Chains A and B, each alone.
Chain A
């Protein structure tokens, strides 16, 4: 049981951090200079 909870916690934390830019406003995202 404890094992499952820990696994879920790690997964959720990682996922929420990873995909946070999708819920951020575009102006807050770092801009890439696409011209070499």
Chain B
């Protein structure tokens, strides 16, 4: 009774505290920006210290705000509009917490909070030079923009006058482990891009003639790359398990906008090596990191504006115009500063030979950017077509596959030779000699595999995959033999050449990923099947029996399920596809959802969806046999692992 009496007062108080925390964060951001600006202008250490302290203050205020919202979500306090919109009585605790990033307001708060953590880490970077000072002010500017959004546009602490007894709940397709962590992972990666961007722009503003910004932002770029890769992987896994269309990548606009910063960032990770080693491509690297950051903001804009229809349409809101203004401002300002100071950041050396690592890195960048451009054009084409013809024309997977496949092959070719080719000037004859045996061995292996796989596309991919793998193995063998003969132990060799071996590991993971994608897309099969209870059918070489069906009722949903036995070459696999019908409408645009049944093996996935029960009592299924999808997941994990080792091993 006592609790009930004080509940409304407590709720109002908590929401007011939340709003206060955010509002003071915004004012602190403005004060910090003014301090940094005036401090740099007057070269005043006290003002710079105030600017720095504003970052610490914002961090503490946003941390309190974020945990306050988590508390409101966990206790299902429906007096808060955000909680009422994203949580319901039947929602499990873990998804109530994950609702922090399920909606617009919570995502923005989370975004600002993560950026405040990054800015705080940046504060403790040493030595304290003007580069760091300008970098901090840029990250603070971006942070203040996000705080502005949660204070004035979409507050997560809005109070409802009429408190409902139940919230609207989380969209059922988001109630999945992978989906619960996939957006968070992507955010962490996206936001981490702010720091290299701030370093790059900061180096221009502070007229820093050194290559410090690249060296100091390298760990951040790897960090971002690891999280963007993990986010893409988790998103694909979620699509594969939850969306029920048999695939893992649909070239959906929101998938595309997550892929584009990853592509630009990967290009940067390659080309920045030329700057670190030879102080080359200095302007180019700045442009690339600008591009990666702009694309990450563009991605957020596309996801949130609802400009393009997507499977992620649940994330739409009203902040689109604000993002538009922000993107335009930040792009124009960056380009203006770049144009103004570009003489200072020109490269100190020239590329000496066509046959050199730096030149191969340029080719690598070109192919990556062609893929980025393709994905960009495919994503914005519906907007352009609507503006010109009045009709939204969507670009299908065929377009992406057609344009990207040759580029992927070219990148794979580079992946084989670029890591072993020396800087400055390589000699053609020794290089040809070095790669002749791997080429021959790859050709022989490909011919052998041509008895199993007839597709030219697959054989091309396999040839290049063998080539890259054999080159890696050959290089490792020569390295180990040379170093062990000099008395070095294995762990000493690994320690000495860790960066190179990490790159090999990442490349090998990518090779497995490409092979997995190619084999599953070329040899994957899809069939429709209608069965009655006890009936069996044969599709290709698989026999499928519908053994039984069942119905289950829970508080929140009715479940229709089926037990099928799929026989493949004498082996039986039991699969249980289900269909959920949600009783409580709430926040759900759909109230029917399929639970895919998958039996994973290394060689193939047996993937069954229960579409519906027909009027005559029979059941409609979709059966997918997806070969070698496992390589995609394994390859991605190997690459991410390589990235993690790389970041641990870097000492700068």
Say yes or no: is B20 at the interface (Cβ < 8 Å to chain A).
yes
Question: Contacts A14-B57, A19-B50, A22-B50 hold; do A36 and B210 have CB atoms under 8 A apart?
Answer: yes
Cα–Cα, bound, A31→B285 (Å): 30
Chain B nearest CB from A28 CB (Å) reads: 9
Instruction: Assess whether B13 is in contact with A3, with CB atoms less than 8 Å apart.
Output: yes
How many B residues are at the interface, by size bracket?
20 to 34
A10, A21, A24, A36: the one within 8 Å of B20 (CB): A10
How many A-B residue pairs have C-beta atoms within 8 angstroms? Tell me: 76
- What residues of chain A lie closer than 8 Å to B46, measured between beta carbons? 21-22, 24, 26, 29
A interface residue numbers (CB < 8 A to B): 2-3, 6-7, 10-11, 14, 17-22, 24, 26, 29-34, 36
Chain B nearest CB from A33 CB (Å) reads: 5
Of B125-133, B150-158, B276-284, B473-481, the one touching chain A? B125-133
Instruction: Assess whether A32 is in contact with B45, with CB atoms less than 8 Å apart.
Output: yes
Chain B 26-43 interface 0/1 with A at a Cβ cutoff of 8 Å (1 = within): 001001100000000001
Chain A nearest CB from B465 CB (Å) reads: 46
Instruction: Assess whether B13 is in contact with A21, with CB atoms less than 8 Å apart.
Output: no
Instruction: Assess whether A18 is in contact with B20, with CB atoms less than 8 Å apart.
Output: no
Question: Contacts A14-B61, A21-B49 hold; do A30 and B128 have CB atoms under 8 A apart?
Answer: yes
- What residues of chain B lie closer than 8 Å to A18, measured between beta carbons? 28, 31-32, 50, 53-54, 57
Chain B 1-36 interface 0/1 with A at a Cβ cutoff of 8 Å (1 = within): 000000001001100110011001000100110000
- Closest chain B residue to A34 by CB distance? B43
B interface residue numbers (CB < 8 A to A): 9, 12-13, 16-17, 20-21, 24, 28, 31-32, 43, 45-46, 48-50, 52-54, 56-57, 61, 127-131, 133, 206-210
Cα–Cα, bound, A30→B24 (Å): 25
Instruction: Assess whether B45 is in contact with A36, with CB atoms less than 8 Å apart.
Output: no
Cα–Cα, bound, A11→B208 (Å): 37
B21, B49, B53: the one within 8 Å of A10 (CB): B21
25 sample A-B contacts, Cβ–Cβ < 8 Å, listed by A number: A3-B12, A3-B13, A3-B17, A7-B16, A10-B17, A10-B24, A11-B20, A14-B28, A14-B57, A17-B53, A17-B56, A18-B53, A19-B50, A21-B50, A26-B45, A26-B46, A29-B45, A29-B49, A30-B49, A30-B52, A31-B45, A32-B43, A32-B128, A32-B133, A36-B209
- What residues of chain A lie closer than 8 Å to B210, measured between beta carbons? 36
Instruction: Assess whether A33 is in contact with B45, with CB atoms less than 8 Å apart.
Output: no
Cα–Cα, bound, A19→B47 (Å): 9
- Closest chain A residue to B131 by CB distance? A36
Cα–Cα, bound, A21→B210 (Å): 31
- What residues of chain B lie closer than 8 Å to A29, measured between beta carbons? 45-46, 49
A3, A20, A33: the one within 8 Å of B128 (CB): A33
- What residues of chain B lie closer than 8 Å to A33, measured between beta carbons? 127-130
Cα–Cα, bound, A21→B130 (Å): 19
- What residues of chain B lie closer than 8 Å to A30, measured between beta carbons? 45, 48-49, 52, 128
A6, A7, A19, A36: the one within 8 Å of B206 (CB): A36
Among B20, B56, B131, the most chain A Cβ lie within 10 Å of the Cβ of: B20
Cα–Cα, bound, A21→B206 (Å): 24
- What residues of chain B lie closer than 8 Å to A6, measured between beta carbons? 13, 16-17, 20
B9, B20, B31: the one within 8 Å of A7 (CB): B20
